Each structure stands twice: as C-alpha cells, then as structure tokens.
Structure 1
Amino acid sequence: MTTAMFKTGMNRTILNQDFFQTIVDRALSPRTAWTKSWSEEELDSSASILSNISSGDDDEDEDYDVDFGPNEHSSSSNSNRATLQTSQSADEPCPMNDMTGHFLYRIEYQQLPKTIHTRYPTSTHSPSSPSSSRTLSIATTSRPEAAAHTEEGQLWVVIKSKPIDTALIELTNIMAQLQGGDIAEEYDQVKDLTGFRNSHIREIELAELAWQVGGAMERISAKVYNVLRNDSQQLYALCLEYLNPALGNITHMNSTETALSTWSADDIHLALRDLASFHAQFLGQEKRILEMSFLENPTRPMMKVLRPTYEAMVKTNHKNDPDLFTQFLSQHMLDYLAHSDEYWATLERSPRTLIHGDFNTRNICLRLDQTTGAQQLCAYDWELACCHVPQRDVVELLSFVLPPGSTEWPHYIEYHRLALQVSLESQRKHTGSVRHGRVPSSMEYYEVAKIALMDFASLRVAMYGISNSFKQVDWLPRILSSVEAQLKRMGPLRSRRDKVLHESKL
C-alpha cells in the first residue's frame, strides 16, 4: 500500500527543491550532484525503518511526482514550481493521523560538472536550544547546462514523520485509564514523566548531535540526511537512509521473531563492540547529558515519584496474565521498586553515558561498510535515548537475542566491559584529550548489570505488559522467560539479611 505523507489540504511546500537538494548533498557529498526530481513510492513494511507503517485508504492516498523542466531553476524565487500548492495556512496545525508514519521517496539526481559549485547545508541551532521552525539551510545550484557530460542516479530515502509528544502521552494514559483501579489514578498523575515527553523532537536533536560529534555515534546510527521542525504546524520529521535488506548490504533487520536463529555469537559480539564504542564517547559525561533538555533522563528523585505507578502496573500485569507475569517475576519487580531509591543511588554512583534506551532487535540491524567490506552495527529509532548506565542497553539486547536460561550472559556483559575499556582508551589517544570516563571492575560491572536488568524489567517490560492487554505482543513471552531465568541464575540483588522477598507484595 502506498502512503502519502501530506494528503489533500496539507501544506507540502516544505518538500521542495531545497529540501531534497540538502538530502542529495549530505548523501553524496556537497557540490557533486543536482536534484532533478522526486516521487513517493510504495513502502514495503518488511524493509522499512519500523515494522508499523502508518497508512491510509488507497482511495484517499495520492502519489506526488515533481519534475523540473529543462529551463527551470531551483532558486528561492522559483521554488514554487517544485511544490504543490494548497489552500491550507502555513500556520495551521496538521492533523497527527494525516502526517505521521514512514514514507519512501525516490530522488533522481544528476552528477554536476566539477566547475559547478554549491554550498553545503548547515544548521545554526544547538541541540539543546530548539527553535520554533527549522530546516537545514542551503543554497542550491541551478540545472547545469552541460547535462550531456554528467551521469544520472537514484537515491532512495525514508521520511519519518513523528507525532507530537502529547499525542503519545495521552494514548498511553488512555490505556492506563481503561485498566481501571490504582494504575488509572497513578498513571494520570505522572503521565508526563514516563519517557515520552519531547519524543517528537528527540530524534531530531540527536541527529544534529551526531552530526556535531561524529565518531562512533554517527557511525552506528542510521544515516540522517535532513530534518524538519515546524512547531506551529506540529510537524517533526527526519529523512533517513532506506534500510532495505533486498539491496544485499543489510541483514538482521526486523529479526525479533527469528532472533534466536538469526543472531550468532559473532553477531552479538559485533553489536556489543560497536555499541561500546558509542557508549565510550559519552562515558562519564553525565552533567553534559543531563543538561540536554530534549532527553527524558531517569534519576533517583524521579524514581521516587514514579514508583507507585510502576508498582500498580506490575500488579495489574500479574492480575491480567499470571502465567505471563509470574509470581516470581512480579514479586522481584515489586521488590526492586520498593528499594529503587537504594538501587538508583548505586546506578548514579556508577559511570553513566548516553544510551540508545530501546536497544533490541526491533531497532537495530547489521550493514556492510562500503569502504572496508566489514559488517557494522546500525541503530535507529532513538526516541527513548537517555542518560543511564551502559549495561542497560546490554541487558536489553541479551534479553532478545539469547534463549531463556542461557549461561552466556556473564560472558557478554564482560565482553562489553572490555570493549568499552578498549574504546575509551582508543578515543583518548585519537583525540589527545583527557576523558572523564571510568570503566568499573568486572565484579562491579556485573553487579550493576543485575540492577540494570531489573530496571529494564520493572519499567519497560511492565509497560509492554499493559500494551499486551490491548494488542498481543508476540515476542513478549520469550522476553519475560529470558528475564526470569536470568534473575534466577544471577541471584538476589541484595543479601538475605536484608530480607529480600520475605513478604509477598502482590
């Protein structure tokens, strides 16, 4: 099914020559190609950035193809020739359900003669200071006269248009209200603190951060060619590379259902190695990360506020499906939440970094490096990135790629720790600067990983459970089994003299 990003009556002037020229410049390098035309194409959900594609009825959706004639130019005075005009006011908000989703575009470009010059697009905005309306600025090049001496090509991209955060917050609150009981009352009071605030701008800001810092963060992220932000229209979008396994350079995409057979030991090592290089880039820079206002960072004080809500969530999940959220698992979750102040004191003493926050087989793949021919990690959907211990990303990945009861968890956790140490030293030598990151000892790292696993289970997995009561999450039983089996192998987080789990809290 073909989906249209902007339906009849929507303002499409933003998808103009400047917008697509910026994409071509960033994808191919500046001053090398000129954008001829672009068109929306049918998007196969199995090859898309996300498995859930927003789509409308075939009768209502439209394809738009914009082509420049031989004598037309892309200067600002003529940009209206490249855009479809609408009667909607530029300041009129766009309905969320008409503008959110993933949309595939094919861009036709023509290589420029070396004598033709363009300016590379630049952004003048800091990631920590959002503006009311923003796209990357660019001065485009007119159609070259000597077209016969240049080559033509195609570039496929996905435009990911995001709903405003208040829509997601209200959606999750509605699910909580439909559950009734304590969770309905508790969730309504803290709905703005559950990780979705600023989710509509977070990926945009992180894309700009990756452009600024480069290095491992830019290397492991899905390539972002352009961003759009218009607060008056509630329009927030990114233009990403098209990750298409059919091209032969992408593997392990959308592999959650087949993860146990798809992800080999070598693949897991590769993912953890590249993840560690990203973690090392921000390790020990908690102050800097916590000052990024677009992030929703979990903290010890915040956990005190959220604790009653997640306790109600765990109890609701156990009541709704006691076979899925077992007595053992639910009681461990409640014990963690009851002592979350103590555990978060430990987490905040441990080195933290910028983490992906949703690091699992739904949001990562492996791709072939065109330069070296080696595989490397590619992570996308960064909406839940935050400041946390690096082990939080690790335990989430292991919950998805290792079978329940696996004895390999300690090995992979230690492998990530060693890779983090190597990456930190390598970055210190490369930059010549003194980084503040500290890699804990093996024992300390493993103990914090146990807390990170309980944090993942008690917060994120508990929320999955609420979603599962409305729409079945097919992979959730395996994840819960994996978490429960690992908790049994790891042992209690605290010593028996602390009376862990002596009384049932269900």
Structure 2
Amino acid sequence: MSDAIPGRGQYSDLARRQRLDWLRARTDARLATLENTGLNPQHLVGNVENFVGSVEVPVGLAGPLLFAGEAAHGSIVAPLATTEGALVASASRGARALTMSGGVTTTVLSQRMTRAPAFEFADIAGARQFTAWLGKHRDRLDEQVRLVSRHTRLVEVDPYQIGRHLHVRFSFETADAAGQNMTTAATWQICRWLTDVLADENDLRPRSMLLEGNLSGDKKVTAGSLVAGRGSRVTAECRLSHEAVTTVLRTTPSAMVKSHAVTLLGAQQAGMTGYGVNAANIVAALFLATGQDVACVHESSVSFLSIEMDGDELVATILLPNLVVGTVGGGTALPHQRELLDMLGCSGTGGVRRLAEIIAGFALALDMSTVAAVVSGQFAQAHQRLGRGRRVEWLREGDLNTALLQPLLAQGTGDPRLHVTEVRRMPPLHSDGIASELGALGERRKLIGLHPLRVTWTDGDGSGTTVDLVAKVKPRGEEIVAGIARLMSLCGADAARAWSHWGGDTEFTDAHRRELSVYRRPERVLQDLLPRCRGLLDDDEREAHVILMERFRHDGEPWARDRVDDALRAVAAVHGHWLGRDKELLHEGWLHHVPEPEYLARSGELWEALVRHTAADQPGLLGAGRRDILLGIIGQAEEWARETRALPRTLVHNDFSPRNIAVQDGRFIVYDWELATIGLPQRDVVELLAFTLGTDSTAADVGRFLTVHARAVAAASPEAATLVTGSDWRRGYQLALREFLMTRLALYAAGHTQREFGFLPGLMRTAFHLWDLEQ
C-alpha cells in the first residue's frame, strides 16, 4: 500500500471515498461515522485539503438575551456548538438574569488586523534610515493595499527596531472579514513593492525579509495586542438588580463582589493575562457554530471582567480586546455556519460588529452565572462525576452484538442450544425516557437508554426466528441521583444542598436493581402486565444492567373513561396480590431501598426548597396559591405520613402514567418499573388520574374510578377483599394525593425550570384540580 494519501488536490466525492478506504486499510479502523457527510467536496476548496469526512458538534440554544448595543439590538438567541455539559444551561441562566435586569449594553471600540514583516539590514544605521524613508512614503503604501483589496484599509504603520533588524507592524481595517488572509495579501504586496522600488538603493534595501516576524501576535496572547488592538475590541456592560441576583443566580450581589476581589488576587498571583472567568467557552462555542478560525480562540478569549456594587445593584463589565471574528470568508461560507450567521442577523454588511457584540454579551452572561455558581457551591455540583475506585469496562455502542445477546436469549427462552446469527441496530426510539436522560447527566461515559434491535437466531431444532426486540440498558440508581443533583445545582444553593442531603434516600436509589428484580418475579399477575422479557444481564463488574424485551407500540388511542377503568383493573391485580404484605416484601429485599412514610416528614427541607425555587422561577406554573398548598402539605407531612403508615400497603408501580402504559391488541403493557416501591395502592390511581383527567372532572367522577379500582383489588383474593372493606378507600386516595403533590410533582416542577417537560402544565392543572375536589 502506498504511503501517499490518494487524490491529492482533488475535490470530489470519489477522491474522498478513496482517501477513506486508504485510511481504513492503513489503520484497520472502521470509520463508519465518516462514510456520509452533508458537505459538498467541490465547495471546500480553500477550506481544507485531503477532505475525508466531517465531524458533528452538538449545537444548543442559549438565551434569549436582551441587547441594547450599537449593532446588536433586541432579544437574541445564541447557537453554542459544544460538548461541555452545563455550558448552555449556565449561559442561559446568566442571560435570564441580565434580561430580567434590563439587558446588556454592547459596543465595538475598534477593529484591527495586523501583520508584521521583519527586515534585516547591513547595520543599525541602515535600519534607522529605512524607518525614516518608510514614514515619508506612507501614502504609497496605501496605494499598494488598494491594488489587493477595496475592503482593506491600512490605518497604522508602527516600526520596532532591534539592532539591524526592523519589525514593522501594519494594522488594517478589514470590514466584515476577520482579515488574516486580507492582511497577509496586502502586506505581501507592500513587501514586493518595497523590493522593487529599492532595488537600486543599496543604502536602503533590506538584506532579507520575512513576511511575518512574529510580532503581530497572530493566534497568540500578547501584551502588544492587548494595548494596540488585534481583531475587534468589544465591551459589554450590565446592571443586575438585587432581585435578579437572588432569584435567578441564587446568591447575593455582595457575595459576588467579594468573590471577584478574591479571585482577582489569585489571577494576579498566577500572572494571568487579562482577568476573566469563562469567556473562552462562549468564544469557542460561537466560533465553531459560525465558522470562525478556531485557532484564534486563544487570543480571542482574553478578557477583563469588572464587578462592583452600585447601591444594592451589581454593575458588571467585560472587555474582549482581541476578538478575531469575521462574517465573510473562511469557514463562514460553509452551509451550516452560514445558516447560523443568517439566524443571528450577522451575514450582511456590518455583520461583524453585531457578531462581536453578541459574543461579548453572552460572555458577560456566562461569567455572571459562573461567578454565582462558584460563590454558592453550584459549580462543583454541576460538574460532579461519580467516583470509582477501579477501571470499569462499560458497555459501548458495539457491545450489543451476538456474543452478548446469545447467553441472554438462551437463558430467557430456556433453549441452551439457541444460536444467535445476526444482530442489527434499528432506528432509535423517539425518547429514552426521563430516567435514562437523568442517568446520562450523572454518567455520560457509557451506553444507556433504549436500543431497538432486530435479532435472528436458530433454536435447538434448527428453526430460524427473526424478532424485533429492545435492549433497555439502565443507568445505575446513583447515576440518576447524580443527574438530578446536576439539575438541582442550577436551582440554587438551597435546592442543591437539600438534594445532597436527602436525594440518596429517594426511590431513585437502586432503581436499576429494582427493575431487574421485578422482571425476575414469577407471579402471574405481574408477568401478565410486563413486556415479554427475553433475557436479563446484571453484571456489576461492568455496571451493565440490561433488560432484553419485546418491541411493542402504543395504539395511540385517547385515554377515555373506559381505558382508564381497564388500566386501573389491570394494575389492581398486582395491588390485590400484595395488599397488606408490605412487611413480607420488605423482608424479601428484592425491592432494595424503599423509603418509609416517615422519610416524607424528615425530608421536608428538600421538598420545600424545590417548591420555593419553582415558585420564584416559574410563577406562571406555580403561583402563590399553589405554592402555599404545597408548603402546607409539606408542613403537615409528619401527621399524614403517620396515617399513611396505618393503612394497608402493597407493591405499587409509582410511575403509573400513560407514558409507561401501552395497549397492544387489547393487552395492557406496563413498563418502566424502576421506581416500584411499597405504598398505598391509591398512589397509582392518583398518578393515572392526574395525567388523564381534565379540569372538568368532578368529585363523583373520582369516586367512580376509585370504586372500579377498589372492586378490582378486592377481587384478587379473600384477604385483599377484607382489607379493602376494612379501610377508607377515599381517605387512602387523599393521602396518596398529598404524597404525589409533595414529592413527584414538586420534583417535576423543579426539573422543569431547567429541562422543559411538555406534559407538566396540563399535569399541574389537573393535579391541583383533584386537590380542590377533595377540599
């Protein structure tokens, strides 16, 4: 095989694929992700050589941020291309605080691009004489620049002599281009002209010349660039109200000013160039999104941040002295980057000033959010990762293969001679579920979620079978708890601290073990509800917890009264089977960690912190009236939790909503049992009604549903019938409603402030309507 990369200088898809095949043969790497690209090779001349494929970077939307700048006006949303979790959320939080306080004022102070050729002369006198000559012919230099570009203007010529060497710093204005290529071409034209015009001037002619003598500071942080300017010199300022700091940033203005003073001393001790907090994140993310020269992130990210008090308000200013940006040329012509520049309103004349102001405004917003996070301890919590004392061979994308699935299917089908011949990945499902998403926040380094597969095998008799299955790869319970902790870190110090104290005792702990235990249970009443299980993998060493189940689809029918009745009857069989056997279930241990009712009273500070945060952050969702209802329930938890403990309890699904119930060929399939626990059977009734009823339902409607459920529970066994008859079923429902409002609804609402749940507004309306009916 030749060592030469094939297709040199060729911009065609055929040449691209030849290079890709050559690279595969050379490295034995599959490189499947490079197979397809949305870029046209013929349009990449001048952008890249030896084109082989493209790399996708996720783009998230930060903001909106209100601007009152010279070029940037109104409410602006920024596309941030990044792989760093919490960046977009933190920038959005800062943007919200700034917007709540009246927005950010921005302006571009100057725009320069530099090139600095170096000349060598016979002696010091020659260099000195050339410097004087150059000053006398300044107008001739302008003529040479105009020969190269009508958009480029030479604004400064600064000579720096060092012995017989002379460095000349040419500064240009380059309109809407970043200008590196423009200034290089213009400087080269000047140098060629100097060579020609001084060809016969032995006393003036340089002995040698370099187009760049490293004085311009190109792609480097230099003191000269900070003072003289390179790129756009742009500044942004905001005035943060006391209310915005306390309710959105979750700290106080005085604490932020004190933190700023302390960290400024640290920056001075470290010899930091400039002083900033987090501008590089915004600069890099917007550079990637809009096609800027990423190598310029280093110099462009230098910033000067100032924070001071003015009365009870906070005044913050940021200066980016060397922001090298352009809206024409280079990567700005690529299709994705051009669309995002268009979206920002930066693609026309004057767009570079608007882009510079947008970057400065969002850099200031992120700095304010980050300072607040450091002050209140949220920063560490938002970036925490579970510690492990050993290296773990996690499941990866390619591990869902024949070798992994064969023993699972052989065990699940009871056929030891079963042989898996093919495993094909199918298109992903629309969602991995909230638990998987939270688990991914807690641990992003391994495979989790729902993975549709088409599996072919031959059984012991040689018969072939092809089945569509789903591999549910579960996050560990502690990863879900850590994922929620990351959300809580953005909800303020009180919520983060309370979750750190009480989150480990919630039903999310051991969620992965609990669901696998449910699928192992032999009881027919439970097996009839579960998806058909084809195999289980429970490997603690690899932290691999997998349920291989049938692929089923929702029938899409609306949740009318009859369907609710049927769902309640279906789950009632499980409730009736274990009703009153809560001590037995606890003793068996297969549900693992089960919070007791007393936990609700002890953990009141957690639920109160979530409620108060949501009420402050989303008053339209949780107004004062609803807030006070929840706080009242929390305040009385000790009393009603004691009453809950005295009523008959059972195994409950604890997440019994249409999101986890499918109806296929008349069969109810109930899945996602990771939150299953011991509780009042009415707990599942509450959740289903909250998701399916409307605000036009009546107390009589609720009573009818409770009767349907109670009769179905009683029908499970004589013992269940006795317990149902001997208890106040409506009172059990009222207590279960209190628990649902205090815990699950409060957690949904707090999470909604950081991750939008489309179902939540309707759920809130119905849940509080159910509360009103019971009053």
Give the TM-score of the pair, scaled to structure 1. 0.69
Amino acid in the other structure paired with 1:40: R
Structure 1 distance, partners of 2:621, 2:400, is 46
Out of 427, 446, 471, the residue aligned to residue 98 of structure 1 is 446
- Offset, 1:109: 3.0
Q: What pairs up with 1:277-426 in 2 under 5 angstroms?
A: 277-291=573-587, 292=589, 294-368=591-665, 375-407=666-698, 408-425=701-718
Using CA pairs below 8 Å that are at least 6 residues apart, which structure has the higher relative contact order? 1
Q: What's 2:127 paired with?
A: none
- Offset, 1:5: 6.2
Q: What pairs up with 1:435-474 in 2 under 5 angstroms?
A: 438-440=723-725, 444-474=728-758
Amino acid in the other structure paired with 2:455: I
Question: Is 1:223 equivalent to 2:532 in the alignment?
Answer: yes
Q: What's 2:467 paired with?
A: 155
Task: Please give the per-residue CA displacement for 1:210-256, whole angstroms capped at 9, x wherever unaligned.
Answer: xx2x221110111222111111211111111111x3xxxx524xxxx
Q: Is the 8 A contact 1:295 1:385 kept in 2?
A: no
Q: Is the 8 A contact 2:471 2:547 kept in 1?
A: yes
Out of 230, 240, 243, the residue aligned to residue 549 of structure 2 is 240
Structure 1 distance, partners of 2:715, 2:624, is 41
SS at match of 2:422: strand
Relative to structure 1, the CA distance from residue 322 to residue 42 in structure 2 (aligned partners, 3 Å threshold; closer, same or farther) is: same
Amino acid in the other structure paired with 1:379: V
- Offset, 1:436: 9.4
- Offset, 1:478: 0.5
Amino acid in the other structure paired with 1:384: L
Moved over 4 A (4+): 2-5, 10-14, 48-54, 434-437
Q: What's 1:74 paired with?
A: none
Q: Is the 8 A contact 1:351 1:437 kept in 2?
A: no
Question: Is 1:206 equivalent to 2:510 in the alignment?
Answer: no
Task: Please give the per-residue CA displacement for 1:412-462, whole angstroms capped at 9, x wherever unaligned.
Answer: 01210111112234xxxxxxxx679611458x1112201211210110011
Greater radius of gyration (CA): 2
Amino acid in the other structure paired with 1:331: D
Amino acid in the other structure paired with 1:477: P
Q: Is the 8 A contact 1:162 1:200 kept in 2?
A: yes
CA RMSD of aligned residues (A): 2.7
Task: Please give the per-residue CA displacement for 1:44-99, whole angstroms capped at 9, x wherever unaligned.
Answer: 424x7748988xxxxxxxxxxxxxxxxxxxxxxxxxxxxxxxxxxxxxxxx75331
Q: What's 1:480 paired with?
A: 764
Relative to structure 1, the CA distance from residue 176 to residue 440 in structure 2 (aligned partners, 3 Å threshold; closer, same or farther) is: farther
Task: Please give the per-residue CA displacement for 1:195-215, whole angstroms capped at 9, x wherever unaligned.
Answer: 211112111111112xx2x22
Structure 2 distance, partners of 1:267, 1:354, is 22
Question: Is 1:18 equivalent to 2:407 in the alignment?
Answer: yes
Q: Is the 8 A contact 2:401 2:423 kept in 1?
A: no
Q: What's 2:774 paired with?
A: 490
Q: Is the 8 A contact 2:565 2:705 kept in 1?
A: yes
Relative to structure 1, the CA distance from residue 435 to residue 451 in structure 2 (aligned partners, 3 Å threshold; closer, same or farther) is: closer
Q: Is the 8 A contact 1:404 1:478 kept in 2?
A: no
Relative to structure 1, the CA distance from residue 311 to residue 389 in structure 2 (aligned partners, 3 Å threshold; closer, same or farther) is: same
Amino acid in the other structure paired with 1:461: L
Structure 1 distance, partners of 2:527, 2:722, is 20
Q: Structure 1 regions of 5+ residues with no counterpart?
A: 55-94, 114-143, 145-150, 253-260, 369-374, 426-433, 492-506
SS at match of 2:667: strand
Relative to structure 1, the CA distance from residue 320 to residue 337 in structure 2 (aligned partners, 3 Å threshold; closer, same or farther) is: same
Q: Is the 8 A contact 1:217 1:281 kept in 2?
A: no
Amino acid in the other structure paired with 1:404: T
Structure 2 distance, partners of 1:436, 1:409, is 21
Q: Please state which structure has a larger fraction of its residues in strand.
A: 2
Question: Which shows bigger deviation, 180-189 or 279-288?
Answer: 180-189
Structure 2 distance, partners of 1:456, 1:204, is 24
SS at match of 1:227: strand
Amino acid in the other structure paired with 1:417: A
Q: Is the 8 A contact 1:285 1:437 kept in 2?
A: no
- Offset, 1:40: 2.6
Q: Is the 8 A contact 2:651 2:679 kept in 1?
A: yes
Q: Is the 8 A contact 1:318 1:330 kept in 2?
A: yes
Relative to structure 1, the CA distance from residue 288 to residue 38 in structure 2 (aligned partners, 3 Å threshold; closer, same or farther) is: farther
- Offset, 1:263: 1.0
- Offset, 1:304: 2.7
Q: What's 1:38 paired with?
A: 422
Amino acid in the other structure paired with 1:376: R
Q: Is the 8 A contact 2:682 2:732 kept in 1?
A: yes
Amino acid in the other structure paired with 2:517: E
Question: Is 1:268 equivalent to 2:564 in the alignment?
Answer: yes
Structure 2 distance, partners of 1:14, 1:378, is 29
SS at match of 1:221: coil
Structure 2 distance, partners of 1:489, 1:306, is 27
SS at match of 2:659: coil
Task: Please give the per-residue CA displacement for 1:16-41, whole angstroms capped at 9, x wherever unaligned.
Answer: 53233234x25xxx58x843412132
Amino acid in the other structure paired with 1:186: A
Q: Structure 2 regions of 5+ residues with no counterpart?
A: 1-31, 34-393, 438-442
Q: Is the 8 A contact 1:5 1:101 kept in 2?
A: no
- Offset, 1:110: 3.5
Structure 2 distance, partners of 1:332, 1:440, is 31
Structure 1 distance, partners of 2:482, 2:545, is 18
Structure 2 distance, partners of 1:184, 1:44, is 33
Q: Is the 8 A contact 2:436 2:474 kept in 1?
A: no
Structure 2 distance, partners of 1:165, 1:108, is 32
% identical aligned pairs:
22
Relative to structure 1, the CA distance from residue 441 to residue 409 in structure 2 (aligned partners, 3 Å threshold; closer, same or farther) is: farther
Relative to structure 1, the CA distance from residue 39 to residue 51 in structure 2 (aligned partners, 3 Å threshold; closer, same or farther) is: farther
Structure 2 distance, partners of 1:322, 1:424, is 47
Structure 2 distance, partners of 1:396, 1:303, is 18
Out of 171, 174, 192, the residue aligned to residue 486 of structure 2 is 174
Amino acid in the other structure paired with 2:538: R
